[in-house]
Each structure stands twice: as C-alpha cells, then as structure tokens.
Amino acid sequence: MKFTDWEPVYAKILDDFGFPKEDDERARDALADLAKPFDHSRFDALAGKTVAIAGAGPPLADELDKASDADAVFSASTATDVLLDAGIDVDCMVTDLDKNPGTARTLTEQGIPVSAHAHGDNIPAIRKFVPTFNVNHVLATTQAEPRGSVENFGGFTDGDRAAFLADHFGAEKLVFLGWDFDDPAVDAMKRRKLRWAERLLYWLERRRGERFSVLDGRRERIEMSWIPK
C-alpha cells in the first residue's frame, strides 16, 4: 500500500482517538535512528501463497490448524508465543513492543523477521528494546509518513498490520486465526482499536476482492463512510 492511499484513513484514526500526528512522527524518527533498511526480497516467497494472520484473541488455541495448513504465518504480538509453544513456526512477528519484547529479540537472533512498529506512546520501548535486537532482521514500521528505513504498509493494530503486510508482499489468500472483535476481557481503548481493526480488514478485503471469514456476519454493521473510494 502506498502512503497516499493510507494517509486519509490515518487522518480519520488520529481524529477519532485524538492522537497527535507529531507524536507518531517522533516515534518514527526514534526508530529510524536504530533501524536498517530491510531486504524485501526475503518475502518474495509469499507471492501466490496462503498466509495465516494470527491474532492473540481467545480463539487462538482452538484454531492452530489454520496456521499449520498455511504456507506462511504472520503473528501479532503474544500470538507468537502460543504458536511457538505449539511447535508452529512463524515467518514474521508483528509487534509494537508492548508485551513480549523478549520473544521478538529471540526471533531476530534466530534470523526470523520482526516487524517492529513505532507509534506515539512507545518511544521508551523502542529505545529500550530495539538496540537489543539483531536489527538485520527488523522491519521497522510507522503509521505516519514513512521516512528512511521506517516503512508504512498500512494498518493500525498489530493484527491488521500483519494482514496489510502480507497483502503488500503478494499473498494470494489470507486466513485468520485467534481473532475476537468482541473480546469482553479487553478495556475500552482496546475495544475501540478492535473496531478499527475490523474496519481496516473490511477495507483490505474490498481492495483485494477477497472475503475474509473473520468478517462473516459482521460486514453489514461496519460503518463505511470513512472508506476511501
């Protein structure tokens, strides 16, 4: 996804949450100071393949077969630990460094890509954890305008960013496991973020001409006026 396509949606997210764009840009620049350019050819093998997008919701443990059956697995945050504990390899971990940076560090040491994300309130985590990673295996991302080695492929939460990332690199089919947009255990802010994740996946499936099963029974309730033409 080009930033010009993402920017109007990003502006609506900032407006909805009241997040200052400048905070995202400061976080992006902090990450840029630590990151290296990522070799995109590492994801060439995704073209034409099925990629499982693993969320960290309650259904994950009962849906691991979807990951096992996929050609590649992109995992969000702590979903990575569940998959690894089950003996399922991940091909990329997507994280904003808020829960399990130790897992991200270990993956980079093993040569497995980690998409580390910068946003307005995680500068301390960026400065604390990214220097401990093998940055040769870090794909640095931002939700603001990309700069230097920090890129923007679209998406807002770890889970939907994983989907946008797989889409960008040519995945033919996306399958979803561990997603629960109505998880009663999350706080009010997380519920709002899940609403946006739902909207963004709806936008993505429309762009791809695909139907994501994770949205079945939900599409008619998704407010559409924000979706770019």
Contact assessment for residue 49 and residue 172, using Cβ atoms and an 8 Å cutoff: yes
* Domain ranges across the chain: 3-221
Whether 123 contacts 33, CB under 8 Å? no
CB 9 within 8 Å of CB 223: no
> Average pLDDT for residues 222-229, to the nearest whole number?
76
Question: 31-83: per-residue pLDDT in tens?
Answer: 999 999 999 999 999 999 999 999 999 999 999 999 999 999 999 999 999 99
Instruction: Supply the pLDDT for residue 225.
Output: 76
Which residues have CB under 8 Å from 14's CB, separation 6+? 20, 21
Q: What is the pLDDT of residue 197?
A: 97
Using alpha carbons, list the distances in angstroms from residue 148 to 33, 38, 53, 143, 225. 9, 11, 27, 14, 33
What distance in Å separates the CA atoms of residue 225 and residue 66, rounded to the nearest whole number? 32
Q: What is the mean pLDDT of the chain?
A: 96
Question: What class has domain 3-221?
Answer: alpha beta
Arithmetic mean of pLDDT, 20-41: 98
- What is the reported pTM? 0.97
